[in-house]
Amino acid sequence: MDKMDLNKLALKLDSAATHALPIRQLSTDNAYNLEDAYEIQRLAIEPRKARGFALIGLKMGFTSVAKMEQMGVHDMIWGRLTADMDIPNHGSTSLAKYIHPRAEPEICFRVAKDIPGEIALEDLDEYVDAIAPAIEIIDSRFEHFKFTLEDVVADNCSSTGLIIGEWQEPSRNIGNLSMQLIFDDKEVAAGSSNDILGDPWKSLQAATRLAAAYNEPIKAGHVIMAGAATAAVFLKPGIEVVAKVEGMEDVAFSVTD
């Protein structure tokens, strides 16, 4: 597809996200490939930047082998995080901002210095100054939360919000931590950080590879969401959402109408 057509699709996605109004899958009426999808994603983020919301990091998706197999792919996908997506720990967000939002528990890395390109797994330590528990809110802009691989990538991998908990010293030993998602004191999902590629550090390494491949610099201060450890669970109005990661402080937010 040419640049003009890609930009039109990007503007449709930006409008759908801004007004919380679902649209038909882009692939229903448009034939486009994965490379086009990432360009649509990039173009859809540009209006947010123009509104004053800077890029603050990246999120990883399809970080479980089972999910990759389900989608018929052999690599992770990634999206961009912007300042308007950031919700304070123990803060709140309104359900009215979303279409069909879900939450999932994650682990987040904070980048210590600019990452010049793909970094080997064993060399990542010098580029990370903290890790934290986190919650991601995902919310497809497409009707019925249904999409192709190209659609979900174009739609910023469904990323909509993030809540980051207390930062702590980074550790390499985060590959088998229990993780829970709790709604109003009731566990609604549970898993292990082992479900994130067997080790969340591998997700960070993949982020450096993919960001380099698509010319998206990872800068000092950026955050990298490593991917979900459980299935995502639909949000409801009036609930408190808590993520528990073994050995870390809880991270939480509340949902208003």
The string of pLDDT tens digits covering residues 178-188 is 999 999 999 99
- Model's pTM, two decimal places? 0.95
Order of strands, sheet of 186-192, starting from the edge strand that comes earlier in the sequence: 91-94, 251-256, 240-245, 178-183, 186-192
Residue 4 is predicted with a pLDDT of: 76
> What mean pLDDT value characterizes the chain?
95
pLDDT digits (tens, 9 = 90+) for 31-45: 999 999 999 999 999
Give the whole-number percent of the chain exceeding pLDDT 90: 92
Per-residue confidence (pLDDT) for residue 127, from 0 to 100: 98
Q: Is the pLDDT of residue 78 over 80?
A: yes
At 82-122, the pLDDT tens digits run: 999 999 999 999 999 999 999 999 999 999 999 999 999 99
Confidence of residue 253 (pLDDT cuts 50, 70, 90): very high
pLDDT score at 17? 96
What pLDDT was estimated at residue 71?
A: 62
**Would you say residue 69 has pLDDT above 70?**
no
Residue boundaries of the structural domains of the chain: 3-256
Beta pairing, strands 251-256 & 240-245: antiparallel
Mean pLDDT for 193-206 is 96
| pLDDT exceeds 90 at position 59 | yes
Instruction: For residues 15-22, give the mean pLDDT.
Output: 97
Annotate 153-220 with DSSP letters as a single string: HHTGGGEEEEEE---B---S--SS-EEEEEETTEEEEEEEGGGTTTSHHHHHHHHHHHHHHTT--B-T
Categorize the per-residue pLDDT at 66 as very low, low, confident or very high, splitting at 50, 70 and 90: low
The CATH number of the domain covering residues in 3-256: 3.90.850.10
